[in-house]
Structure 1
Amino acid sequence: MKGDEVGRFSKRQLGVVVAAAFAVTMAVPIGAAVAAPGPVATAAGTGAGLPDDDRPSPEAKAQRQRAADALEREILSGGRQSRATGEPGTVDSLKISGTHKVFVLAVEFGDKTTPEIGGPAGPVHNGIPKPDPKKDNGTYWVPDFNQAHYQKLLFGDQQPSFKDFYRQQSQGRFGVEGQVTNWVKVPYSEAYYTAQGSMDKLISDGFADWVAQRKAGGATDADIKKELAQYDNWNRAKHLDQPDGQLDHLMVLHAGVGAETFGSHLDPRVKEVIWSHSSATDKPVAIGTTGVAASDYTIEPENAGVGVLAHEFGHDLGLPDFYDYSGNGCAEDPLACQDNATGFWTVMSGGSWLSNSDKVRGTAPGGFGPWEKLMLGWLDYQAVRYGQEANVRIDAPNAKQGANPQALVVILPPGQDGKGRYYLVENRRNIGYDQDLQHAYFNSYGATLFQRFAYQPGMLVWYWNRAQKDNNVSEHRGAGQVLPVDARVSPIISDDGRAIRPRVQMYDAAFTLSATKPLNLTWDNTTPDGVKYTAKVTQPAQPAQPTFDDRNSWYDPRAWRSSVDVPKTGTVISLFGEQRGGRTVDIGVSFPGAH
């Protein structure tokens, strides 16, 4: 139910991965005062030391800022309707189109190390134990993680695949192609490479073995150079379609699981295993004597699904993480310190770990939100200026028909600091990769059996606040760079008085013309004196909620991780019609409280 008793329950997304376990914390007693919103101290040993899967260079950070500025100028000057043109971006833009090639290097480990580093040897590929489905319905596993498996997973035409995901999300404006190497072997253990602090040596050693394999197969230096030249067609620094002597996109797949699967960054095994991430080498890594180098890369584990691959590649294209990565509170609650309102609503947050079945996680992600597509130049939208009423018909992201836009951008008055503010409105339906929102998951702390539940389709309203640089709500409660508004903001609590985690709280965040479906979950816990028990999370069907009015409060301090403090501008956004089974909706925008 949604009620008056709320505790702090949120997700810990380790690196790219939404953690497998849900934290358990006692809720605020009924009638207890709720602390006023304010800054939260960073726990010792977390914060800056928290593993982060998005590690852009200073140049990349600067480009992201310029791209946001350029997008804002486009929205403000582009008139009432704007179409994504499919044109390539510039040094001041993240827009991208055409077909890009991705070089995929599969690496397994040797047994060399140093006394100071120690750790286990390897791993080599195909060493991940087969999960028992009666005990684990989350781990992705296949009998043979071979080249053919990855070629289909990454570049197959089926849904889901890495290629198909980006084709659908871009409406065909952007595509990926590539080839996966056979497994190459590096001399040192994974623990050794993890301890280096960068992936330069791993990438260097991996390519050394790949070049050796190619030469053993009869390839000459000229042959290898010609092969690599196929992957150097794009100048990342200038954002132009021209070679620059570096691989356009490098994806490294490493044997074994990712460190994020351990459930906590405080787990001692973390220091021996690689976190999935996107970054660049400290300096370009030469590939043999070919004259081609590797620099920008993503790295993911052997049993990566499409979700983690798509998420990390989103970083490679310039998108930030949408979860809370500040590290605040991780020492006392390492599994719950990175949750916010984004929940499963975007692949740049928990959506990377959705699936198209109830037997596994991470194999079929949900889609991007509207802001990410705007930044990449993949979204047809209509802008509505403050004070100018409009009725707009929009399509679901994966069900475009004719000239209808896919999102609505409401331009609000700037804040007192002069920074831009916008509502981004979209129509989320169980179509395309958003079908996977029907397989959201929940589990108790430490459990590997997941309960599934469905996110509710409808009109989702996001608040884009240019005064904020990230979605770290633990540092600025109720505020973030881009956060969805919860249409039913009262917190959901279990029958033992605990607040449900925000990514579950947000299951009915969309505005709807009909009632939502009920939610029924169980939650295992242990009392302070060690007695185990199971609580129920029961949320009855909630009535229709078709209207967002920013004169009302959509921020609840009791649920500060999952609610948003929107500006009081007198803007009303109403869902008033549906066609094609909800694939097309009619939305009205009015300004009865304009000032």
Structure 2
Amino acid sequence: MPSGQLSHVKYYLRFESRTELPERSPPLRRLLATGAAISLAALALLSSPAAAAAPPAAPPPTAAGDTRDREAVAPPPAPLELQRQALRRQALEEVAAGGAAAGLRAEADGTLPRTAKVGKQYVELAQERKDKVFVILAEFGDRTDPRFGGTPGPLHNTIGKPAADDNHTLWHRDFDRASYQRQFFSTDPGSASMRAYYRIQSSGRYDMDGTVTDWVKLPYNEARYGTDNCTESGQCRTNWDMIRDATAAWYDAERAKGRTPEQIRAQLAEYDVWDRYDADHDGNFDEPDGYLDHLVVVHAGKDQTWGGGAQGKDAVWAHRWFAYWNQAGTAGPEGNKAGGTPVGDTGIWAGDYLTGGENSGAGLFSHEFGHDLGLPDLYSSDGDNSVNFWSLMSSASYLGKGPNTTGQFPGDLDPWSKLQLGWLEYTEADAGRRTRAVLGVSGYNTADPQALLVHLPPSVTRTELADPYEGASQWWSGTGDFMDNTLTRTVDLPAGPAVFSSRVWYDTEQDFDFVTVEASTDGGRTFTALPGSVNGAPVPAKGLSGTSAGWAELTVPLDRFAGTSVQLRLRVTSDGNTHGRGAAFDDLRITADGGRELLRDGAEQGANGWTALKWSRTEGRTGSEQHPRAYFVENRRYTGYGSLLKTGPYNFGFTGDKVEFYPYQQGVLVWLWDTAYSDNTTKAHPGAGLLLPVDSRPQALRFADGSLLNARAQTFDAPFSTRPTDRVTLHRAGVPLVIPSRAGVPDFDDRHGTYWNADLPQLGVKVPDTGTHLQILKETADRATIQLTPSAP
């Protein structure tokens, strides 16, 4: 991109009519023209009293502060979701890289395409459609399981009315079907629905509707499904049984009404029109795949995110997952056996789902629905980071408009999450180059872009491996969390025996990260892990795991594929916890009967027919990876859902359940996107993460006794601005801390500024020195004019 040139990337609306709209049309007028408009009243609701139609619940009380310490460890993504995220991450790294991004702009109007091809697989980049969401209301039965115990129920409408001094919990007398229909799907003026939220976040590119069932009764009590007594990471798999029993109870209730399986199937077929994982690998995501597209199970009682109410640790955590994914290959609809549970005799299955408690509101359900669309959590899985109320995918799922509305409204998505979904209208610039940009508000499209994406030089990491088995190079999988990295080629096998052999070296987390050799006979639609031996011992069913003692000899028979063309791939996967250095392969051979070599590759001859997804060839024993980086610069204002930053942030500053509310500040928020990291767990890597907002005032806020203010409040004044901050008073156990109004900080400079503080190691950001200086020239109610210049020497 030439110095100083701005590339203005705009998205347009594509609903059922697929009508393209004129350039520069104000987004709300564009939406009205398409017949899929965001109601102006949906924006007005954020400056009017909260609707009482769909009152959700409040976050759990924490006496020491308002940190999200009740958040469950997220369950590990199912393999298909892990693969989807890896493909999307690979594609969007090109956006961060800048110059390569042009390869993604295949459409005539210069926008990112809806899909991209990564290797031989397709990934969906833009969620531009109208979805249908199926919501089941489920209360618990009387049966108990002796393994888990617990009390019967709960039934719905048994959550007690909040005490007089509880000003954060939402409650109403009747959580009936109509209240949830409004909470999820209402478009009425003043509604606080999940549908209204996503229409505004997407600026009308995405819409939903659906149905909410009557309450159905599960056979067991909540402890049977919600127990924490399991050995799995994250939520227990007993949660899956709740999905199985909820769908079965609904189906049985419909049959009891006299409906036939064919009638029920016809209804559910309306909820299966999206091929989420491109099961047939044709790049067409707008087709059925045999699974409900979006399934929500609302369970009776408080979920454990809110403390669990009377059920406590027996309560189900709010989460999103794929039921029985471990049965992939044997269970599922005909032609797409990805696991799941059948919905009666309809032939349609439930796989992906999300769940939350009876008094969980649009905030929490919008957060979990973000996962359903493919967004990861941005809060830390261990400790704190700086995101907090700045994104729905962290604490902004807990916002409101004052007393007893906490969680009723979700806060805005961050710009990176909108980019993931194809909803961000942005402008681009290069680090250290002179550029001026005018930004509109970040919450929704205006005539000005929502964000500025500043491309930075990539970071480089080097990993020491074993010396190559032969020659000067070896194939290396790369390393990191949430890996799903593959090296694939097509092989035409002759009739008769054949064998794949290789030298393999691996360093992975035992029993959690795996190295497999896989084959596909259907053009890459499905792959099967192949049995074999390593140093003469059988390869475990899940694959190689742990650490090899130097180079090992791997042998995989291919006799079963004799006379066919197969895709053969090497695959390395990892979870979101500890990871090793990955896997290396050298001296790869495919040998036919009689010793005839069909392939011999020592990673010395370039790609040599392989398609690499995150694999690379090393120079000697050192593996090298480049990681694109970028700044997002956005203009946060009290408009749309952004107004909730003025009324919604809260602090447990007193004894009991009383909270105090305080405003997050307006201004220009700078985020660092660093693809060297796959999570925001800054306790493991202080000052660094996948996506972190930079705090313009990284100095620690302390009470008179020297103790620190809680993490959520520390970043309330993170934005850069020409204007002074508000005077804010917060408490801890009733003791006040007065934070005076402070002068605005209008300049960000990654060469001379310091935005990480050792007193708050998990909250600051260690920005790279790219010579980028950003200055705010002007701020109005809906615009910010900024200038990028090279930093001073």
Q: TM-score range by the shorter chain?
A: 0.7 to 0.9
Moved more, 180-189 or 415-424: 415-424
Measure the CA separation in 1 of the matches of 2:633 and 2:112: 22
Match of 1:103 among 106, 121, 134: 134
Letter in 1 for 2:417: E
- 2:419 matched to which residue of 1? 374
CA shift in 2, pair 1:426/1:259, >3 Å: same
- 2:171 matched to which residue of 1? 141
Measure the CA separation in 2 of the matches of 1:489 and 1:469: 24
Residue 430 of structure 1 contacts residue 437 of structure 1 at CA under 8 Å; is this kept in 2?
A: yes
Residue 125 of structure 1 contacts residue 256 of structure 1 at CA under 8 Å; is this kept in 2?
A: yes
- 1:224 matched to which residue of 2? 264
Measure the CA separation in 1 of the matches of 2:455 and 2:273: 37
**Cα drift, residue 289 of structure 1:** 0.6
Question: Structure 1, residues 169-193: CA drift from partner, whole Å, max 9, x if none?
Answer: 0010011111000000011101012
**Cα drift, residue 389 of structure 1:** 1.4
- 1:562 matched to which residue of 2? 763
**Cα drift, residue 494 of structure 1:** 1.2
- 2:433 matched to which residue of 1? 388
Letter in 1 for 2:73: D
Letter in 2 for 1:192: R
**Cα drift, residue 222 of structure 1:** 1.0
Measure the CA separation in 2 of the matches of 1:313 and 1:17: 18
Matches of residues 261-280 of structure 1 in structure 2 within 5 Å?
Answer: 261-262=306-307, 270-280=312-322
- 1:9 matched to which residue of 2? none
Instruction: Find out whether 1:518 has 2:710 as its counterpart.
Output: no
Residue 58 of structure 2 contacts residue 360 of structure 2 at CA under 8 Å; is this kept in 1?
A: no
Measure the CA separation in 1 of the matches of 2:744 and 2:85: 38
Match of 1:281 among 323, 326, 333: 323
Instruction: Find out whether 1:585 has 2:779 as its counterpart.
Output: no
Residue 410 of structure 1 contacts residue 422 of structure 1 at CA under 8 Å; is this kept in 2?
A: yes
CA shift in 2, pair 1:18/1:421, >3 Å: farther
- 1:454 matched to which residue of 2? 663
Measure the CA separation in 2 of the matches of 1:24 and 1:176: 36
CA shift in 2, pair 1:105/1:86, >3 Å: farther
Match of 1:310 among 357, 362, 366: 366
Structure (1 or 2) with the greater strand fraction:
2
Residue 17 of structure 1 contacts residue 352 of structure 1 at CA under 8 Å; is this kept in 2?
A: no
Letter in 2 for 1:423: Y
Letter in 2 for 1:21: T
- 1:342 matched to which residue of 2? 387
Instruction: Find out whether 1:398 has 2:443 as its counterpart.
Output: yes
Higher relative contact order, structure no. (Cα contacts within 8 Å, ≥ 6 residues apart): 1
Measure the CA separation in 2 of the matches of 1:207 and 1:84: 43
Matches of residues 149-188 of structure 1 in structure 2 within 5 Å?
Answer: 149-158=179-188, 159-188=191-220
Residue 462 of structure 1 contacts residue 485 of structure 1 at CA under 8 Å; is this kept in 2?
A: yes
Normalised by the size of structure 1, how large is the TM-score?
A: 0.85
Letter in 1 for 2:784: V
Aligned length: 530
Measure the CA separation in 1 of the matches of 2:246 and 2:695: 46
Match of 1:441 among 650, 675, 691: 650
Measure the CA separation in 2 of the matches of 1:222 and 1:176: 25
Residue 438 of structure 2 contacts residue 785 of structure 2 at CA under 8 Å; is this kept in 1?
A: yes
Match of 2:736 among 536, 545, 562: 536
Secondary structure, aligned partner of 2:715: helix
Measure the CA separation in 2 of the matches of 1:424 and 1:227: 43
**Cα drift, residue 197 of structure 1:** 2.6
Unaligned runs of 5+ in 1: 1-15, 26-46, 327-336, 525-533
- 2:528 matched to which residue of 1? none
CA shift in 2, pair 1:588/1:377, >3 Å: same
Normalised by the size of structure 2, how large is the TM-score?
A: 0.64
Residue 100 of structure 1 contacts residue 175 of structure 1 at CA under 8 Å; is this kept in 2?
A: yes
Residue 203 of structure 2 contacts residue 444 of structure 2 at CA under 8 Å; is this kept in 1?
A: no
Moved more, 514-523 or 53-62: 53-62
Question: Structure 1, residues 11-49: CA drift from partner, whole Å, max 9, x if none?
Answer: xxxxx9964315379xxxxxxxxxxxxxxxxxxxxx9x9
Instruction: Find out whether 1:56 has 2:98 as its counterpart.
Output: no
**Cα drift, residue 198 of structure 1:** 3.2
Measure the CA separation in 2 of the matches of 1:415 and 1:373: 24
Measure the CA separation in 2 of the matches of 1:148 and 1:340: 38
**Cα drift, residue 427 of structure 1:** 0.3
Give the superposed CA RMSD: 2.5
Secondary structure, aligned partner of 1:181: strand
- 1:129 matched to which residue of 2? 160
- 1:214 matched to which residue of 2? 254
Measure the CA separation in 2 of the matches of 1:412 and 1:558: 28
Secondary structure, aligned partner of 1:508: coil
Residue 200 of structure 2 contacts residue 444 of structure 2 at CA under 8 Å; is this kept in 1?
A: no
**Cα drift, residue 54 of structure 1:** 5.3
Secondary structure, aligned partner of 2:741: coil
CA shift in 2, pair 1:207/1:375, >3 Å: same
CA shift in 2, pair 1:578/1:271, >3 Å: closer
Letter in 1 for 2:85: R
Secondary structure, aligned partner of 1:492: coil
- 2:688 matched to which residue of 1? 479
- 1:250 matched to which residue of 2? 295
Measure the CA separation in 1 of the matches of 2:772 and 2:291: 48
Measure the CA separation in 2 of the matches of 1:341 and 1:113: 42
Residue 55 of structure 1 contacts residue 278 of structure 1 at CA under 8 Å; is this kept in 2?
A: no
Moved more, 146-155 or 78-87: 78-87
Question: Structure 1, residues 350-388: CA drift from partner, whole Å, max 9, x if none?
Answer: 100011233231000111000000111000111101243
- 1:74 matched to which residue of 2? 95
- 1:11 matched to which residue of 2? none
CA shift in 2, pair 1:550/1:444, >3 Å: same
Match of 2:64 among 20, 23, 30: 23
- 2:533 matched to which residue of 1? none
CA shift in 2, pair 1:115/1:294, >3 Å: same
CA shift in 2, pair 1:18/1:257, >3 Å: closer
Question: Structure 1, residues 115-170: CA drift from partner, whole Å, max 9, x if none?
Answer: 232101100000000112x3111112111101100000100014421001000000
Letter in 2 for 1:194: G
Moved more, 189-198 or 117-126: 189-198
- 1:42 matched to which residue of 2? none
CA shift in 2, pair 1:22/1:319, >3 Å: farther
Unaligned runs of 5+ in 2: 1-56, 117-121, 228-235, 279-283, 325-338, 462-625
Letter in 2 for 1:118: G
**Cα drift, residue 71 of structure 1:** 1.5
Measure the CA separation in 1 of the matches of 2:135 and 2:311: 26
Question: Structure 1, residues 55-85: CA drift from partner, whole Å, max 9, x if none?
Answer: 4212212221221221121352346998895
Residue 381 of structure 2 contacts residue 681 of structure 2 at CA under 8 Å; is this kept in 1?
A: yes
Measure the CA separation in 2 of the matches of 1:110 and 1:160: 31
Measure the CA separation in 2 of the matches of 1:387 and 1:359: 47
Question: Structure 1, residues 377-425: CA drift from partner, whole Å, max 9, x if none?
Answer: 00011110124311001101235332x2110011111113321111100
Measure the CA separation in 2 of the matches of 1:299 and 1:460: 32
Measure the CA separation in 2 of the matches of 1:102 and 1:563: 39
CA shift in 2, pair 1:259/1:225, >3 Å: same
Letter in 1 for 2:435: A
- 2:699 matched to which residue of 1? 490
Match of 2:633 among 400, 425, 432: 425
